[in-house]
Amino acid sequence: MQQTFLMVKPDAVRRGLIGRIVSRFEEKGFQMVAGKLMVIPEELARKHYSEHEGKPFYKDLISFMTSGPVFAMVWEGNDIIDLSRMMMGSTDPQKALPGTIRGDFANLVNRNVIHGSDSPESADREIHLFFDDHELVKC
């Protein structure tokens, strides 16, 4: 069993897509073990996306991610890190296939509706940036 960090981004929260995005992972058979609606403090956004510091899109990314509430979650399931990335589709929604979350709900790379950890190391790091261990339920 593996855990990952997923986050409905501010564009999707604004558009009322939390439920439909959460449903995809529920339908797949994964378990949500933590979830909270929150506005990300700038310092946390910077830590979360530190790998992108200095890139041309970094400033817009931080201001976008702190522009309104996100729905931050921890999910659990077999091979969930790779499978949830497949379900999300390519980073650029113009390349994401129909049937994926970004393919179905987004059309711009800087407004791509969802974040998901890309490796066991980033999952562990991101889960603990956003949650304390006691906030995770034991299934």
Q: Which is nearer to ligand DAT, 36 or 52 (CB)?
A: 52
Instruction: Please tell me whether residue 117 adopts helix, strand or coil conformation.
Output: coil
- The yes-or-no answer on residue 128 being catalytic is no
For the CB of residue 65, give the shortest distance to ligand DAT in the complex, in Å. 9
For the CB of residue 104, give the shortest distance to ligand DAT in the complex, in Å. 16
Burial of 15 (0-12, 13-18, 19+ CB in 10 A): middle
Q: Which is nearer to ligand DAT, 19 or 57 (CB)?
A: 57
| Residues at the site binding ligand DAT, with contacts judged by CB under 6 A | 52, 57, 61, 91, 109-110, 112, 115, 118
Q: Is 102 annotated as a binding residue?
A: yes
CA angle 47, 39, 7 (to 5 degrees): 70
Q: What does residue 97 show for φ and ψ, rounded to 5 degrees?
A: -75, 150
Dihedral sign for Cα atoms in the order 53, 43, 91, 128: positive
Q: Is 14 annotated as a binding residue?
A: no
**Binding-site entries for ATP:** 9, 57, 85, 91, 102, 112
